[in-house]
Chains A and B, each alone.
Chain A
Amino acid sequence: MILSVRDLRVSFRTHDGPVRAIDGVSFDLGESEILGVVGESGSGKTVSLLAVMGLITDPNATIEGSIRYKGRELVGLPPRELRRLRGNEIAMIFQDPMTALTPVYMIGWQIAEQIRAHRGVSKSKAMERVEQLLAEVNFPNPHEAMSRYPHQLSGGMRQRAVIAMALSCDPALLVADEPTTALDVTVQAGILDLVRKLRAKHKSAVVFITHDMGVVSELADRVMVMYAGRVVERGTRTELFSDPRHPYTRALLGSIPPLTGQKPRRLPAIPGSPPSLLRLPQGCAFGPRCPVHYEPCEASKPGLGSGAHAAACFRVAQA
């Protein structure tokens, strides 16, 4: 196991009261496995992985639970130790390539900066490596690209540069937070191909965050569906797509009632909107939008259970 998260809880103190953004999330990630994390905006995908990276800097945040990376506990690790892992063994790609790079430095310099932060190599050695990396992420002219500033590149090219940077120290774990959401559809496919290819080459495990079921179906080995800070369903990709159990997963797949034959791949709009984390219902958080909710759903929150393919729903438990 590369990563093992147990009962992760993240809450923020805000003006309007405490917000429990992540409420008891557990998952495992094997070597060179791709885990897809899906859910609507605000379901806690980003926060849970930022917690893994030790990147929640908000002083009003409290993080509880356990995050083990290769058996080593990360929660409560001194910042220095954590910094040695970040960018080196665990790397992250963020959603918006337009703002993810410092505007005043050249691409090559920014990638070399990361290499030199973790490896005691000379500037010229680092630059050689940068050129290799840029070639690997399909820059047509890697040498010339090194001396480009971020604003001189298109969104897709910037995201490639960010990916090259993330891979620069051969991380064992790569977290990609909606890396294609801000890009054109035509560019998206190229980036997904790249992630797949690089995973095969570098053997990194990948956590791929997205709100797009289509992306999950193309890329993920296993899938975790999140809603209002909790995991509502998990399973292998095949299990999830051929036998979705949680009403939310089905809604995401646009398969209520379950249909045979071709399933739509894009995320359809689900009626209603996610609940405010400040006023979560006592029972199942999906209750107000659930087409099949019934009495037990009001009283308490359904648990996920321990199975490999599991769903947090009273209907499922009953069936």
Chain B
Amino acid sequence: MIYAILRRFGQMLFVMFGISVIVFLIFFATPGADPAARIAGRNASSEVLAAVRHSFGFDQPLYVQYTRMMEKIFVTGDLTSFVNRGWKVVPAVMDSIPVTLSLVFGAAVLWVMVSIIIGIVAAATRDSWLDKLLMALGLLGISMPVYWLGEVMNLITQSRYHDSWAFSWVPPLGYKNFSDDPKGWFLTLVIPWITLAILYIGIYGRVLRAAIIESMQEDYIRTARAKGLSEARILFRHALRTSLIAFVTLFGLDFGALVGGSALLTEVVFGLHGIGKLTYDALQNLDLPMIMATVMYASMFVVIANAVVDFIYILLDPRLRAS
């Protein structure tokens, strides 16, 4: 088991290295384009161009350029945005990481808990009115665009009903540091958490229900009944336990993608300056160093999330431990 985990860790490093090379090549070694000109931005003076060329090593072989780039991102952290007039890229990414992590982590806790309850209740009351109601609500959650839902949430909690007893606690939009103001951190994030979680509650609740119902058809459930176990024990210890494997797969993919920037819409609606927002702005300005840094960051989170999922797999499914 230790060996399996170490091997997975090695694989993870290898994949990250591969991604960094590919991203680097796409951005800086595309034939016919001058990366220095792109980094320096539109209408750059020739001195700036020359400075960029020298600092990134564009007058040297590719592998030197690659090492310089990685050095700037990971070691010295002095990668600079020229479009944004000397803005340091790495600190900007570092500042936005806690915002995105807070948003996605909280939403994930919420959606995992609620969808597990919904999945279990719906599967246990299969085909009843309660099951149908829960599944219809789930579908509704899935079909509401997050941007629209966020705007509606804001309309209700920030303006229309802000003065009513129900929403007067909601602070203005924006992010508060957990270390400075834990209560403010929590309160500002409650509405974004709910908004982001609703879509996933819909998806995960339906997926878990289907997985439990499928497990309930398995032979080992019949064995469990023949053993004289209670229906509750059969559901929780046998059907749910084996259904969580599908659930975890899905979770790893979604969590990785969200942390890597796909929470963009939620971040924008709620004025949270997270990784998604940062990437989006960088793309708008064609801010190449910033894009490079955020892409590296995003891919790393996807890779880490996948590795974590694999570890959880190994814990959940003994069949994967052997090889």
Contacts and interface: CB of A to CB of B under 8 A. Distances in A.
B223 A151 contact: no
Contacts of B222: 55, 94, 100
Contacts of B225: 55, 57, 86
Given A104-B317, A152-B322, A99 B219 contact: yes
Nearest to A152: B322
A149 B319 CA distance: 8
Contacts of B137: none
Nearest to A118: B228
Query: Which of B222, B226, B231, B316 counts the most A-chain CB atoms under 10 A from its CB?
Result: B226
A126 interface: no
Contacts of B227: 86-87, 113-114, 117, 165
A85 interface: yes
Contact of B228 (A57, A86, A152): A86
A104 B226 contact: no
B322 A100 contact: no
B183 interface: no
Interface in B217-250: 218-220, 222-231, 233, 237-238, 241-242
B298 to A, nearest CB: 33
Interface string B175-207: 000000000000000000000000000000000
Interface string A56-81: 01000000000000000000000100
A91 interface: yes
Interface centre among A85, A87, A118, A162 (most CB of B within 10 A): A87
A197 interface: no
Given A149-B318, A151-B318, A152-B322, A103 B220 contact: yes
B241 A113 contact: no
Nearest to B219: A99
A117 B228 contact: yes
Contacts of A99: 218-220
Given A96-B219, A99-B220, A152-B322, A104 B316 contact: yes
A83 interface: yes
A232 B230 CA distance: 37
Contacts of B241: 102, 104
A100 B229 contact: no
Nearest to B242: A104
B237 to A, nearest CB: 8
B317 A83 contact: no
A100 B223 contact: yes
A102 B317 contact: no
Contact of A86 (B218, B226, B233, B238): B226
Interface of A: 53, 55, 57, 79, 83-88, 91-92, 94, 96, 99-104, 113-114, 117-118, 149, 151-152, 162, 165
Interface of B: 218-220, 222-231, 233, 237-238, 241-242, 316-319, 322
- Give 9 closest A-B pairs by Cβ, nearest first: A87-B228, A99-B219, A86-B228, A87-B227, A114-B227, A149-B318, A102-B220, A92-B226, A100-B223
Given A99-B219, A100-B222, A103-B242, 6 more contacts: A84-B228, A101-B223, A104-B318, A114-B227, A114-B228, A117-B230
